[in-house]
Structures are given as structure tokens and as C-alpha cells.
Amino acid sequence: MKYAVVTFGCRVNQADSLGFEEALLTSGAEAGSEDSADLVIVNTCSVTATADQGARQAIRRIARVNPRARIVVTGCYATREPDEVRALPNVIRVVQNDDKHTLIASMMTTSERYGDGEGSCGAAIAPGVAGRTAFTLRVETGCAEPCSYCIIPSTRGAPRSLPIDAVVAEVDRVIAAGFKEIALTGVHLGSYGRDLTPPSSLMGLVRALDNRSVLFRVSSLEPMDCPAALVDFVASSDCFAPHFHLPLQHASDSILERMRRPYRIAQYASLVNRVRRRMPHASIGSDVIVGFPGETDSDADELASFLESSPLTHVHVFPYSDRPGTAASRMPEKVHGAVVRERARRIRDTGARLTRRFRESQIGTVQRGLTIEDGSLVVTDNYLKVRIATGRQRNERVSVRIGGTAEAMTGEIIGCQAPNAAAASCCAGDWR
């Protein structure tokens, strides 16, 4: 039986889909393309109406080109609109987020069984499964933040964390399988551990994971959940990447208040400036929403002005659109679509300048990284993609001197890293 997994949205979905892949392979199924697979799992996102539309289009396309496919749909769109999803062609099952963890096991007991049960657990998880060289590990799910524009708390539920000992055990298993980089992710990662008994924290988790033979990359953190102590910890640890993603959403305090974001621009500026002081070569990404209800020309200017002078290295720009069921969708003073598009263009141009500035600043430096794809591409710890000469394998930890241009970065390998310590470089070089 051949299967395919199609994933939309965030790293949490990517982590969940990797779990599906491993369970399917272990059960004896064989990976294939969505155009020829007997079973296709579609893991959906619902953060915007565009995300819903993308899932619907994908499902219809799969049913059209592969009419024999049995399609199982899960994720946030399937949770929010199960009847709408169920009515799509070839959909045999709709699985809500709360039931994701039982999806594969439950199918094994039904007529939808897809494998022969003869798969090898040892072979199921390894670098390269689902095209992933690094492993994405979900340590938390759910969110209780009341952001006025966001539907996700209603599709993911309250925060739930894996106990630290369970995370440590999974990390050790992943390392034993050969992975050299692990991304820690969650729907509201910064809330990790607050729901546990006794309570814990993200700081407690990262301290428990330190000094392992793997590089950890911390996924998106809300600004209020990234204390100075965490920045300082990452700066001093050889096991954690100098890479932060800290969603800003806006630089106008009045808009942040309307968004129900629990911080103000001065706090955010202090945080990202601390990251830059402690880690001069760190990558610092962010998300912003333009055209939020009530956003004036002055608010838009505040956002552009802050970004231009900030240490951010890349910005994801989201033009606001109403999400039914959210508080923002009921707000007055909607911004005209043409104005939203023009403001988005302006902020994207600003973001492109920030990215170019950062990439240019890294030319000539030595950075650690991981080879991916066919071994001719390195993703550095500070999140640059650098093309190198052929001859390397996927999943090698290397040190690379960055050259080329901001538009086409190239790298010269100047050393590899000790196999028993992903953090211990065997070559000299100032990588921070």
C-alpha cells in the first residue's frame, strides 16, 4: 500500500506529519506521490481563508488526478469545518486535531488498513524521511492567548505540554536515529510546561536538553515569552542555534492593543536589541500584519520606521483579512483592500532590504551548519542557505566560510565537526 502526506501550515503540522510518516512506514506502507498513492493524508491549516482555500484546491486536485485515492483530512481546517471538508471528493475520514495522535492506530483496526505490519521501526525514522534532514519535534500544542485576529485557539484547544522526561526520551531516540538537528516547536511554545504538574517552563526544558550531541533550533516564540535569561542561555550554549523568530505583528502601540498583544513596541525593541548585542551574527525573524482594522497612515509609518531601524533579518508580511469567528472580524474601520496591498508592498520592500543587509554582513564569516538535500546545500546555524561544491552527503555538520553575493551565497568548507559533539567544531572560526 502506497501513501502520501500533504502538509500545510506551521511547524507543528510538520511535526505531526512526520509522526504520520513514521507510523505508516513502521506499519509496512510505502511512501509514494500524492498522484499515485492509495492513501493520502492532508494535514490542513486554517490561519487564513487563503489557507482553507489551498487545502480545498489540493484535495480536489488529488481526487481528480488520482481518483482511486482515499483521502484522510486532519489539521485546523478539518477541525474548524469538518462537514465542509467531509463533502469534498474522495474524503473518507475527517480527523480533528485532538484525535491526530490516534489517527494511524485507529485506521489499523478498520477496513482502511493500509500496510502489512511488516515495516521496520529502525528504518522508519532517519534523516531524509519525508525529505527532512532536520527533525521537527512538537513539545507543546494548544494556545490560550486572546489575540483578536486569530482563530487557532478554537482549533487547537488549551495548551498541553509533553513532560520534560518524555521530551528528553524522544530527543535521545531521534539522536540515536542519526539526526543532527532538532527544531523544538509548539502552537504556543513559550507557554511550555505551565500546564504540567508540577509546573515547568521553556527555560527548564532547554536546560534539560543542553550538552547533547545535536543542534537545537527553537521555533517561533512570542515576545513576552522570551526573557533575557533565555537569550543569554542561547548565546552561551553550543547546542542552541543563534536563530530567533519573534512575531512582532505591529509597531504601533494602539494597533498592538487592538490586536490584544500583551507587550508594547518598546519591550519588543529591547528584546531584539539584546539578541543582537549578545549574538551579533544571529538571525532574527518576525511576522507583521498590515492593514489591521483601524490602522491609520501614521500607524503604517510607525511600522515601516521601526523595521528600517531594527536588527531584524527577515520579515513575513501578512495583509490583514477577516477571519470569521474572531474579534477582529467584527471591528469597524476596516482598511480598503487597495490600501492594504500597497502597505504590504512597502513593508515587503523593507523586509527585503533587511534580509540583504544581513546576508551581506555574513559574507566572509565562518558559520556552522548542516548539509541538506543532496549535500550541496548548507543551512547555517544562523539560518542562511549556502551552496557548496558537490561531494558531501546529506546530514553532515560542517563549518563553512561564506562567500558569493547576498543573492547567491556560496560556501567553502573549512572543517567538519566531531561526530560525538555537534556543537564542538574541529576548525577555528568566529561563528557568532
Residue 80 identity (one-letter amino acid): R
Give the model's pLDDT for residue 70.
Answer: 94
Which pLDDT does position 193 carry in this prediction? Answer: 97
Q: What percent of the chain has pLDDT over 90?
A: 80
Is residue 246 within 8 Å of 274, Cβ to Cβ?
Answer: no
CATH number for the domain whose boundaries are 2-123: 3.40.50.12160
Domain with CATH 3.30.750.210 in the chain: 131-241
Fold assignment, 248-362: Transcription Regulator spoIIAA (3.30.750)
Q: Are strands 377-380 and 366-372 parallel, antiparallel or unpaired?
A: antiparallel
Look at strands 39-44 and 2-7 and give their pairing: parallel
Domain with CATH 3.30.750.200 in the chain: 248-362
Q: Give pLDDT tens digits for 227-262.
A: 999 999 999 999 999 999 999 999 999 999 999 999
Looking at 3.50.50.60, 3.30.750.210, 3.90.420.10, 3.30.420.40, the CATH number of the domain 131-241 comes to: 3.30.750.210
CATH of 363-416, one of 2.40.50.140, 3.40.50.12160, 3.40.50.20, 3.30.1130.10: 2.40.50.140
Q: What per-residue confidence (pLDDT) applies to 161?
A: 97
Cβ-based burial of 432 (10 A; exposed 0-12, middle 13-18, buried ≥19): middle
Mean pLDDT across the chain, nearest whole number? 91
pLDDT digits (tens, 9 = 90+) for 110-133: 545 544 444 433 446 888 887 789
Instruction: Please state the pTM of the whole predicted model.
Output: 0.88
pLDDT value of position 49: 85
Tens-digit pLDDT profile for residues 142-155: 999 999 999 999 89
Which residues 6+ apart lie within 8 Å of 397 measured at CB? 180, 215, 368, 369, 370, 416, 417, 422
